[in-house]
Each structure stands twice: as structure tokens, then as C-alpha cells.
Amino acid sequence: MRQFLKYTLASLTGSILFFLLLGFLLTLGAVGLVGVLVAGLSQESDAPTVEKDTVLVYDLSTLIPDSPEALDPGALVLGGQTPSAITLRQAVLALEQAATDDRITALYLKGSGAGVGAGLASQIEIRQALETFSATDKPILAYDISWTEQEYALASLADTVYLNPFGEIEMNGLYAETMFQAEALEKLGVGVQVTRVGRYKSAVEPLIRDTMSPEEREQTQRLLGDLWQNLLTSTAASRDLSAQQLQTIADTQGFLFGAEAETQSLADEIAYEDEVIAALRDITGEVDDDDDDDDSSLDFRQIGLARYAKTVEDPLLSRRADNEVALVYAEGPIIDGGDSGSFSPSGVIAGNALAGQLRQLRQDDDVKAVVLRVNSPGGSATASEVILREIQLVREAGKPVVVSMGNVAASGGYWIASQADIILAQPTTITGSIGVYGVFLNLEDLGTKVGVNWDGVKTAELADIFSSTRPKTEAELAILQRSVDSIYDSFLDRVAEGRDLARPAVAELAQGRVWSGTAALDLGLVDELGGIDRAIATAAELAELGDDWKLQEYPEPGEWQRFLRIFLSPDAARATAHDPVTTQVLQFVDDTQMIRSLNDPRGIYSIMPFRLVVK
């Protein structure tokens, strides 16, 4: 009895302590949420103001996604990082508005060593906006200690490119690498079997090879060559140089250090940051007092791009009209499931959710055309077909569909785009990868190594065909291969019909191969080169709306998201520079997370080459 009372009292005490702790944490969370809301209210009341003679600052590492990112309530309470505060259209509109804003006297492109927070295709639209600003009499200044090629492609438009005396300009070409894990998996005892169609469908190669296949090397070389030539041509034109001059630097020097960057016309002045700030203060008319010992001379009158964007009204969204062009964002890997009424996290395309959104737009009489902005490497083949079906129905309802391709619209991303009325891409968009694969792991050898065994019963010979505790038999792989072949044939049919191409021609250019937007245009996979605004204008033209229409972005935030956005005004998130080892680890983590998100019910995927890292 004594022991019984002892354990009973201990259990009761533990329960009381647990509920006290739970209450404390809930209270702490509520206080944290109140704090967030109060801070949001303060920010909301403190609307951005722009003083006369202000410099617009664009930190090139600012992360600029296509669509507004969803706010995670849990992350807010627990102090997690808030999403980026600026989208691509907002960034472009802000830069274009600043060109004619009398309060903005100059533009400062600030490098940070972390690279550009926008992809290569998005960077083209940003560059065009910078060209609009450059066409005015307002100066553009750019400064960094170490310029990468992508940063410099934007900075090259500046009237004055500054370089730190101990800095350098990187001009050594692009490099793509993939981490191969076949040997490591073999040592761990993890077996890998694949079914695939397409000579170039290399998404599974990191799991079954230790080096690039000849086909993968060929397609990657072609793709990088297209991206590099676009980068060379645009950068050289901005500096009154030839592309060959930059190519020679890339082949023989790689990096221009300090004064030699100025000698070869890539930098205009060698200066420290305080000297650049002094030049900016001179532009804003802020006079330094020699007797002033405070730090005021280390700053200048400025406003960041994300904050300035909040003062800029989108003319297409604010139009008064009944007719509507719907801009639908499809960003991230394509996964199965979801529904239009649930909270969907940023970074994935849930097939049922996007299909439900398209269905609502089809049934809305005010919606006259749809622009689908695709920025996806693909994913679930089943979910891709679910989305494509709704796109077909939108078109059958008499509403034109225009696809605007972002940084990548490949595999499943191309599947959902293939039957649009018009497809637009940027020259540096990665697209194509028309292929299908299935990958199957087995843990039998791993179990043997660590002393784990599996056993079970079944009612039919193929009941355990998807078991991961043993390898597939040849007969089972043949069955799974037939399924992959069937989906691949359907993919070819969709493309041939949507692009009005002969099926043999599609079969030849497919094979899982990725293409640049420039090559895709030549092959007939896309119809035009252009950005998101051109796609919107094209949709309005196809619907014959004249000027009687307004733009509406989807998916619209739910009530909870609206509530959070009223009280929260996040700062712009920025890219972070890491050492090489950390970068490799983070890439591996990203790869693992992508694998975990893939949930096709048949285990069959249409996704571009696995994590192509371009440096």
C-alpha cells in the first residue's frame, strides 16, 4: 500500500506539474502573440514615408519570390522568421515607380556577398526595371566587396560601380554540380531500384550512380551554355564591352582584384564603403559637419526597396472594372492532396488545392482570363494531371489561359503548362524535362546490418509490391515500368496536343531533357519570350477586354492570413552566405525535405534533374 500511495502521489504530482507547465507555455505564447500584434499595430500606424532627396536602396540579397508567402501562426508565436515582404511584381513596380518619383533622387545597389535573392529568370524582369530607372537622369550607384556574376549582371547597369580596394569581381563562368549518393547508400545497405522513361531523365541518377551519365552531362552543358551566354551578353552591353572580352577574363583570370577591375572597365572607382556613403550623402544634399563626432556621416537619407514598395499602388489591382484577369501562382514542388479551403504552406503546389482554385475561377462569371505563373520543378504526375484537367476545363469555358514561366517550369511544371493558349518564358527559364520516373528503396541489407527483420502475411502475390523491406522482383519491376511508360505516353500526348506538334517530334525533344527558355522557343515548347506583365497583357488581349479589366491575384489569403497581415509587416528576408561545407549540408537537407514532400499515390513522378546547383 505504501508503494501504491508513493507512485500514485508521484503520478499526481507529475500531472499537476505538467498542466502547470502547459499553462505557463500557453500563457507565454499568448503574451508573445499579443506582443506580435502590438508590434504589428505600431508598424501599421507608422506607414512608410518618403522624404525629398531620398536614395532607394536595393539590397541584392533580398529574397524575391513570385507570390506572397503564407504566414505561419506557429512560427510567429515561437519567434520564427517571417516570410519575405516583397514579391517579384512588387519589386518591379517599385523600381519603375521610383524612376518617376520626385522624392527619389538615386538608386543604390548594395551587394552583400550572399548573391542575388532572385532566380535568373526573375533577375531579367528586375534588370528591365533597372533599365527603366537608368533611362532617367537619376544616378545608380553600386558597391560591394566581392561581386558575383549574378550580382554584377545587375550592378553593371550602374552609372558608377564601386569596388572595395581589397575586393574582387568574380567572372569565372557558371558551374553546376550534383551530389551523387549511390556508394554511400550501398555502404549503408539501402537498395535502390528505378523505373524511368527518357534518356535524359536524370532525377534518379544521384541515387544509382557515382558520376554524371553522358546524357546528363550533355544536357547540363547545353543548358549552362545558354544561361551563361545570356549573362555575358547583357552584362557586356551594360559596360560597352564585348561578350568575348568577358569570356577571355573567365578563361584566363577568373577574378579581377582591386585596381585591375577598374583597369579592365568592370569597375569605375575603387573605394571603401564610407567613401561610397559620402558620395550618396552628396547626392541627397546632406552636408557633413567637420566638428560633428557622432555617426551621422556614416548614414544617408534612404528607404529600402521592400519598404518603398508599400507606398506604391499596383495600377492593375486598383483598377475599377467588373471584368477580371486572374493571376494564379503555382510555386514549388507539385504534391498530391490539399483542398481549397485549408491552410496551405508556402513552397508547395497541392494538386487538389490548385485544381479547386481553378474550378472556382472557371465558375466565376467575372473572371474572363487566367494567367498561371509557374515556378516549379515538377513532382507528382497524378497531381499534375489533376491540375491540367482543370486548365482544360477553363479553356473549354471560353476563358483563355496564359502561362508565365518563372525560374523553372519543368517536368510536372511543364505538364500543367502544356495546354495553355500561350506559354511565355524568359531566356533563362529552365523548362522541358518531359519524362517520368519511379524510385523504390529497400532496407533489407540495412536491416541485416543492424539486426532488424521484417515478416508478414499477404492475400495475393503482389500485395507487398510497394514494400520497402525487400527488393522488387523482375516481374514486379516490369509491372511498374508499364505504369511509368503509360504515364510518359500520356505526357507526350498532352504536349503534342497542346503545342500543336507532331508526336514523333515531341518524343525526340522530350526524353526527360531540360532546355533553356531560348532553346524551348526554338523547339516550339514555348510561344514567346517575356515576363509576367507581358503574360497578363496577352491574357487580356486574348479575352478581348480592351482596358475594361482589373487584375486579381490568387490564391487569396484566408481570414486568418488576412488577420495576420493586418497586424504584421515583416521585413524583407535576405539570402545568407555560407561556407562550402555548410552549403553542402544545407543542400542535402533541402534534398531530403523535397523527397519527403513527394507523395504521389502511384509513386511516379515527373520532376526535373535532382537539385541542379548552379554556381
Which residues are known to be catalytic? 201, 411
State the cell numbers at 366.
467575372
Does residue 160 contact residue 141 with C-beta atoms inside 8 Å?
A: yes
Residue 504 CB neighbour total at 10 angstroms: 9
Neighbouring C-alpha atoms within 13 Å toward the C-beta of 406: 24
Does residue 154 contact residue 192 with C-beta atoms inside 8 Å?
A: no
**Which letter, b or e, does each residue of 447-486 get, where b requires 16 or more Cβ atoms within 10 Å of its Cβ?**
eeeeeeeeeeeeeeeeeebebeeebbeeebbeebeebbee
DSSP-assigned letters across all residues of 251-281: HHTEEEETHHHHHTTS-SEE--HHHHHHHHH
Amino acid residing at 298: L
Residue 577 CB neighbour total at 10 angstroms: 14
State the cell numbers at 33.
502573440
Q: Cα–Cα distance between 81 and 570 in angstroms, integer?
A: 9
Longest dimension (CA), the chain: 93
Measuring CA to CA, which residue among 103, 117, 138 is closest to residue 303?
103
Q: Give the helix/strand (H/E) hosting 141.
A: strand 140-147
Reduced to 3 states (helix: H, G, I; strand: E, B; else coil), residue 353 is helix
Reduced to 3 states (helix: H, G, I; strand: E, B; else coil), residue 369 is strand
Residue 39 CB neighbour total at 10 angstroms: 13
Q: End-to-end CA distance of the chain, in Å?
A: 71
DSSP state of 62: B
DSSP state of 61: T
- Calculate the dihedral angle through the C-alpha atoms of 91, 96, 98, 99, rounding to the nearest 10 degrees: 150
Residue 582 CB neighbour total at 10 angstroms: 11
State the cell numbers at 296.
551621422
